[in-house]
Amino acid sequence: VTVRRPVTSLDDFRDLARRRLPRPVFDYLDGGADDERTVQANRDAFARVVLRPRVGVDVSRRDQSTDVLGTCVNSPVLLAPTALNRLLHPDGELAVARAASTFGTVFAVSTSASVAVEDIAGASTMPVWFQLYMANRDATSGTLRRVAAAGVDVVCLTLDTPVQGFRRRDVRNFLTFPPRLGPTTWRAFLSRPLWSWRYLRAEPVTFPNMTHLRERRSSLNPSVSWRKVAWLRGQWKGKLVVKGVTRGDDARRALLAGADGIIVSNHGGRQLDDGIGTLDCLTDVVDAVDGRAPVLLDGGVRRGTDVVKAIALGARAVLVGRPYCCGLAARGEAGVAEVLELLRAEIDRALALVGAARVADLDTTFVGAAPAAPLR
């Protein structure tokens, strides 16, 4: 008998994914822009905030459910849009959608998803959001009609991607979309036979939500300004969330353009390097928004205590990307479910230990700045 070592943190899922995936695919998932300092900044920002527990609080009944844009989620953790989930597991986005629905949270489907949004929505019993890059007006109008017909009522516009960030690992690994078996990649394929066998047998991985566009790069548009966001607002009857904001003044502009929600995000450190960690700019954004819309955050969330810190600093909820991708790569739908469950259990324990029975009880009194030098 082989005994499966218990998974004790999201880091363990990262290890499982690294062992399952060929290097170029793992690096695409795990890596970031340039020297990956923004990736690190997201983690460091959480490490610099400490928790200040309240004791003597009755925490025997704890509740982490919350409302996000009219949807009650079982835990304040949503699934961030990520590209091409079928590279990670043959079930791809369908597995993610099913796990999110069973758990009771929202999956934000990427424009670059590898399963059609109609099929993902069909596999979901929870609302799905659609992440949009604004290509040009015709393509955008077409996409909006399509996602509305699929039953999506929240579009999440990503603004941190006027051009593609430079991912050194992908270049060095000769990564193509989709990855192809060839002279520069055969060693990577050979090193992960199970993955390769499944990948080569499956339908080719494509971008079925960008059929009207010639290629992925053409979905990026460096001319998207707030004026175009306001145009989009006029085109879209559902809710509009603006993602990729790291400044209070931009959050105000997003609200002026008609946004119903803000996601503080730097694309998981995959776009601009040497950017500010998302938790480091959360307060600026929350103050600017001043309660007029929910503020969400992604980037570097790896622990239940991270979720508690973000909510204490004013986020309504967080999104995770890489962690559920690692769960998917390791164990398909069950792996995504385990990632969500692990975070839920960590949040539950963190709430009990900080003395907050409900996420709504969290406020800035629960956090402080880590001392610059260790206390003696």
Q: Is 4 helix (H, G, I), strand (E, B) or coil?
A: coil
When the beta carbons of 85 and 112 are compared against ligand GLV, the nearer one is 112
CA distance 89 to 78: 20
Applying the rule CB under 6 A, the residues between 173 and 232 that interact with ligand GLV are none
**CA atoms lying within 13 Å on the CB side of residue 125:** 6
Name 254's Cβ contacts closer than 8 Å, sequence gap at least 6: 226, 229, 242, 245, 262
Please, what is the minimum distance in Å from the beta carbon of residue 315 to ligand GLV? 21
**Which residues sit opposite 49 in a β-bridge?**
369
When the beta carbons of 208 and 248 are compared against ligand GLV, the nearer one is 208
Name 73's Cβ contacts closer than 8 Å, sequence gap at least 6: 65, 66, 67, 104, 105, 106, 126, 317
When the beta carbons of 210 and 354 are compared against ligand GLV, the nearer one is 210
When the beta carbons of 31 and 314 are compared against ligand GLV, the nearer one is 31
CB-nearest residue to ligand GLV = 270
Contacts 24+ apart (CB under 8 A), 359-363: 359/63, 359/64, 359/65, 359/66, 359/76, 359/311, 360/66, 362/308, 362/311, 362/312, 363/312
Catalytic one of 267, 270, 302, 316: 267
Side chain identity, residue 197 = W
Chain position carrying tokens 């003044």: 249
Applying the rule CB under 6 A, the residues between 101 and 140 that interact with ligand GLV are 112
Please, what is the minimum distance in Å from the beta carbon of residue 355 to ligand GLV? 37
Applying the rule CB under 6 A, the residues between 245 and 304 that interact with ligand GLV are 267, 270
Please, what is the minimum distance in Å from the beta carbon of residue 270 to ligand GLV? 4
Known active-site residue 89: no
Token couple for 284: 């600026």
Task: Return the residue of 83, 156, 262, 336 that touches ligand GLV, per CB under 6 A.
Answer: 83
Of the candidates 300, 324, 319, the one whose C-alpha atom is nearest the C-alpha of residue 93 is 324
Please, what is the minimum distance in Å from the beta carbon of residue 169 to ligand GLV? 11
# residues contacting ligand GLV (CB under 6 A): 4
When the beta carbons of 120 and 313 are compared against ligand GLV, the nearer one is 120
Please, what is the minimum distance in Å from the beta carbon of residue 83 to ligand GLV? 4
When the beta carbons of 66 and 114 are compared against ligand GLV, the nearer one is 114
Of the candidates 88, 163, 80, the one whose C-alpha atom is nearest the C-alpha of residue 335 is 88
Please, what is the minimum distance in Å from the beta carbon of residue 110 to ligand GLV? 7
Binding site for ligand GLV (CB under 6 A): 83, 112, 267, 270
Q: Which residues are catalytic?
A: 267
